Amino acid sequence: MHFIKPESNFTQIITLDACATIQSNKDMVGCNPALFPYQKDEGLRMGLSTITDGDSVEVGQKLLFDPIKEEFLREIFQDHPFSSWGANSIIQLRTGKFYLSYDPILVNADVFVFNPASPEVAMSLVKSNRLNISSGIEAINNDVMQLSLGTKVYYYRSEYYQDSFFLSQLTSQDVDELIDFKKKNGIAGDVSTFIQFKDSWLPKISFIVKNLNSTFNNKDSDILSENQMRTIMIYEMYSRAAIGYDYKTQWGIFNAEINAPFSKFYEDLYSEYIVGSLNYSLSRFSTSLSYSKYQQAFGFNFGSKIASIGIFYGTSRPLGDFSNQKENVAGVRGEVSL
């Protein structure tokens, strides 16, 4: 579970992805490519999101960008058995027909040190970059409903390490040998649909299938295993179904959404990761609040024509029922438009 995911825009971070039916905010294509026909912004944008505050920030950054040292892992084990960190950056060209974007840096780090008798380290470190193209069309627009379809296709190159080792192995083996990054690249994509009815009593509906054809997959045995760390709902194929309502007043618009994720193509419902989100926006100001069993977030974003800045706070139990450890984080997302 991470707050920051590939190509994530601000609303996506603070609603924990429960933003597939929000039409009113700017920059919603990251949430749901099927919202593309309803977006009007064009131009070039650069953005950076990162977790800036929290117990794990330093640990995550060191693991990803510095050589991993034995003393360092021992230190982590003593004061903070679980740590995670994430960041992404993006350069995006928006046109009326498609969005083209490049994520030069996209990183997620999770490390869990367990078993005091003979300390063992389970790690998931993923560094990747991506080239994305997103677009969408409005397929139906009649007196009853509007239906739009969207897609995102991306080329990715990832370096990752997802395995575990004993701390004692570090004394006999070189860190580089032990933590051997593997490489994966390929083409994958998302497809989605968005439906809204003219009768405002009926909810807006969205279905998204993410990371089709991705070579990352999470085996049940890995997810359940104590000595394996896996990020979920980031790199592997999964799907989402959402219903949402909005209420527009003269003083701003309110959006509410419930979003349910499923494994693979709507196979098993991840009932513990169902998210509810509330969003309010007025002109270029927006704020959201979201809640799921293990993760809660709150944040606000303010944009002008040339720049936008958002700050978010979140709390999570990253290992779910597996551990009671809580993580409090704060993060920033900044964007500049040219």
Partner 1 sequence: MKTFLLIFLIIFALPTYAQKMTAYKFLKQKSLENKPEATFNKYEDIISGSLAFAIGNIGYFTTDSSTLKIAYSGVQTVGIIGVGHGIYDFYYPHFESRLLELLSRKKMTRGELADGYVGLLGEMDRAKRISVLWSSSLLTMQYALNAFISKDVSQDMKDIYLFLGGVNAIIATYSYFYKSDYEEYYTHQTRPKVGAFIMPGINEGTKAGLSFTKSW
Position 276 contacts partner 1 (CB under 8 A): no
DSSP structure class, residue 18: -
Question: In the complex, what is the shortest distance from the CB of residue 51 to partner 1, in angstroms, rounded to a whole number?
Answer: 10
Instruction: Compute the C-alpha angle 256/260/266, nearest 5°.
Output: 145
Q: Return the range that interacts with partner 1 (CB under 8 A); candidates 75-83, 88-96, 243-251, 288-296.
A: 243-251
Question: In the complex, what is the shortest distance from the CB of residue 287 to partner 1, in angstroms, rounded to a whole number?
Answer: 9
| Cβ count near 92 (within 10 Å) | 24
Contact 102, 130 (CB under 8 A): yes
Phi then psi dihedrals of residue 113, to 5 deg: -110, 125
| Cβ count near 319 (within 10 Å) | 20
Question: In the complex, what is the shortest distance from the CB of residue 307 to partner 1, in angstroms, rounded to a whole number?
Answer: 6
3-state secondary structure at position 116 = coil
Position 303 contacts partner 1 (CB under 8 A): yes
Question: In the complex, what is the shortest distance from the CB of residue 249 to partner 1, in angstroms, rounded to a whole number?
Answer: 8
| 243 versus 311: smaller Cβ distance to partner 1 | 311
Q: Provide the strand spans (E) within 175-227.
A: 182-197, 204-212
Position 58 contacts partner 1 (CB under 8 A): no
| Among the listed residues 70, 145, 309, 315, the single contact to partner 1 using CB under 8 A | 309
Position 336 contacts partner 1 (CB under 8 A): no
Cα–Cα distance between 298 and 90 in angstroms, integer? 22
Cα–Cα distance between 159 and 126 in angstroms, integer? 6
Q: Which long-range contacts (CB under 8 A, 24 or more apart) does 118-121 make?
A: 118/166, 118/167, 118/168, 119/74, 119/77, 119/166, 119/167, 119/168, 120/164, 120/165, 120/166, 120/167, 120/227, 121/73, 121/77, 121/164, 121/165, 121/166, 121/167
Position 140 contacts partner 1 (CB under 8 A): no
| Among the listed residues 311, 315, 320, 325, the single contact to partner 1 using CB under 8 A | 311
Position 52 contacts partner 1 (CB under 8 A): yes
| 156 versus 300: smaller Cβ distance to partner 1 | 300
Q: How many CA atoms lie within 13 A of 216 on its CB side?
A: 29
Of 3, 1, 23, give the one whose Cα is nearest residue 14. 3
Q: Name the strand (E) or helix (H) holding 177.
A: helix 175-178
Question: In the complex, what is the shortest distance from the CB of residue 112 to partner 1, in angstroms, rounded to a whole number?
Answer: 25
Residues with Cβ within 8 Å of 264's Cβ and at least 6 positions away in sequence, in order, are: 237, 238, 239
Position 289 contacts partner 1 (CB under 8 A): no
Position 249 contacts partner 1 (CB under 8 A): yes
The phi-psi region of residue 115 (left if phi > 0; otherwise alpha if psi is between -120 and 50; otherwise beta) is left
| 171 versus 249: smaller Cβ distance to partner 1 | 249
Cα–Cα distance between 263 and 267 in angstroms, integer? 5
Question: In the complex, what is the shortest distance from the CB of residue 75 to partner 1, in angstroms, rounded to a whole number?
Answer: 22
Position 302 contacts partner 1 (CB under 8 A): yes
| 119 versus 252: smaller Cβ distance to partner 1 | 252
Position 40 contacts partner 1 (CB under 8 A): no
Question: In the complex, what is the shortest distance from the CB of residue 183 to partner 1, in angstroms, rounded to a whole number?
Answer: 32
Position 304 contacts partner 1 (CB under 8 A): yes
| 223 versus 336: smaller Cβ distance to partner 1 | 336
Position 250 contacts partner 1 (CB under 8 A): yes
| 99 versus 312: smaller Cβ distance to partner 1 | 312
Position 308 contacts partner 1 (CB under 8 A): yes
Position 252 contacts partner 1 (CB under 8 A): yes
The residues of the shown chain that bind partner 1, judged by CB under 8 A, are 52-53, 248-253, 282-285, 300, 302-305, 307-309, 311, 330, 332, 334
